[in-house]
Amino acid sequence: MVQSEQILGRRHRRWSGALTVLGLTLLGALLMTACGSTPSAKASNGKPTVIATTSILGDLVQQVGGNDVNVDVLIPRGADPHDFEPSASQAARLRDATLIVANGLGLEERLEGTLQSAAKDGATVFEVGPLIDPLNRPGTDQPDPHFWLDPDRMIRAASLVADELARVTGIDRSRLNANVKTYTDTVQVATAYATLTLDTVPEAQRLLVTNHDALEYFANRFGYKVIGTIIPGGSTLAEPSASDLRELVATIQTSDVNAIFSESTSSSKLADAVGREVGKKISIVELSTDTLGESGSPTSTYQGLITTTARLIANGLNGR
C-alpha cells in the first residue's frame, strides 16, 4: 500500500491535493447522505413512488430524485439480478408504482414477463440501458447489460432518469438538475480516484479474468482487457463446460495473471477450482459487480462501488 501511494504521489502531485481536499470531501458527504437514506414508499406523504429493479438503479434514482420521491428497490442488495423472480406481492407493487426504472438489455431475465404485464396494466416502465449506447458482448451482436460499470454512462443515465422523473411526476426540474449536477461531480471524483488506483498496475498486467462477462464496460473505460470468464456469456445462468474451463486455465497460465475476480452474488466454487488448476498461487478476489453492498459498507453507493472495485482489482493484479 505504501508503494502504491508513492506511485500515485509521483504521477499526480500537481493535482491530487486539490482532488483530495475538494473532490473527496464532496464525495464523502454524498456517500454519508446516501448510506443513511432508506426511503419507504408511504402514500400518506404525497410523494411519487419509484420502483427500481436493482439496487444500483435505486441508488441512482434516490440521488437524482432526492427528497421528492419514495424509492423502492425490487431486487434485494446481494441478490443476483439475472436470477431474481418476484413474488406475487412484489408484482402487485409494480402495478401501483408511479414509475418503474429498469435496466433492460436482458439483465432482469426472469423479471421481463412481470415488467411487461405491469406495463400492460398501465404502469410506466422506463428502461435505461437501451438509451446509453450499450456495448455488444465480445464476438456477438447481443447487448451487454452491465453499463453501470462505466461511470460516464451512469452520468448520462442520471440525466435520462431526471428527464423521466420530470415528465412522469412533475417534480420541479431545477431541483432535479441540481441533484444531477451533484451526482455528476461525485461520480467524476470517484472516476478520478479509480483511474489513479488502476494506473498503479503495469500496463502488461491489466488483464481481467472474471466470473461472468460483467466487466467489459469497466475494462473499456479504464484501459483494461477481459481475457476470460468462468461462466460463458453475459448471464450468470449459463454453465461452463469442462473444455471451457480447461481453455480458461490455459489462458491464465499463458497470461500469468495474479487474480481471478469472483462476484458477491455467485458462489466462488468454480473460481476456486480454476485457481487450483493453474499451478501457481492465484488470488480469488470477490467484487460486487451486479449489486450494491449493505448500508454502511464500502459499496453501499454507486460511487463507493466504483472506487472499491478499482482498489480490489489493482490490489489483486499487483499481488497484494
Nearest in space to 78 (alpha carbons), one of 307, 293, 261: 293
Q: For 189, left (φ over 0), alpha (ψ -120 to 50), or beta?
A: alpha
The string of pLDDT tens digits covering residues 225-244 is 999 998 876 555 567 778 88
What count of Cα atoms within 13 Å lies in the side-chain half-sphere of residue 68?
20
Q: What distance, in Å, lies between the first and last C-alpha atoms of the chain?
A: 8
CB 168 within 8 A of CB 124: yes
Which grid coordinates belong to 108?
432482469
pLDDT at 44: 52
Report the DSSP beta bridge partners of residue 286: 262
Distance CA 202, CA 118 (A): 49
Q: Fill in the DSSP letter of residue 246.
A: H
Domain with CATH 3.40.50.1980 in the chain: 29-194, 202-317
pLDDT at 1: 45
The distance of Cα 101 from the centroid of its chain, to the nearest Å, equals 15
pLDDT at 11: 43
Edge-to-edge order in the sheet of strand 49-52 = 70-73, 49-52, 99-102, 125-127
Determine the angle formed by the axes of helices 173-198 and 2-18, rounding to 10 degrees.
Answer: 140
- The alpha helices in 86-125, defined as continuous H runs, are 88-96, 112-120
* Residue numbers of the chain with a pLDDT score lower than 50: 1-27, 29-43
Second CATH level (architecture) for the domain 202-317: 3-Layer(aba) Sandwich (3.40)
pLDDT at 22: 42
Which grid coordinates belong to 314?
489493482
Nearest in space to 210 (alpha carbons), one of 268, 153, 254, 154: 268
Second CATH level (architecture) for the domain 29-194: 3-Layer(aba) Sandwich (3.40)
Distance CA 115, CA 259 (A): 38
Distance CA 67, CA 274 (A): 47
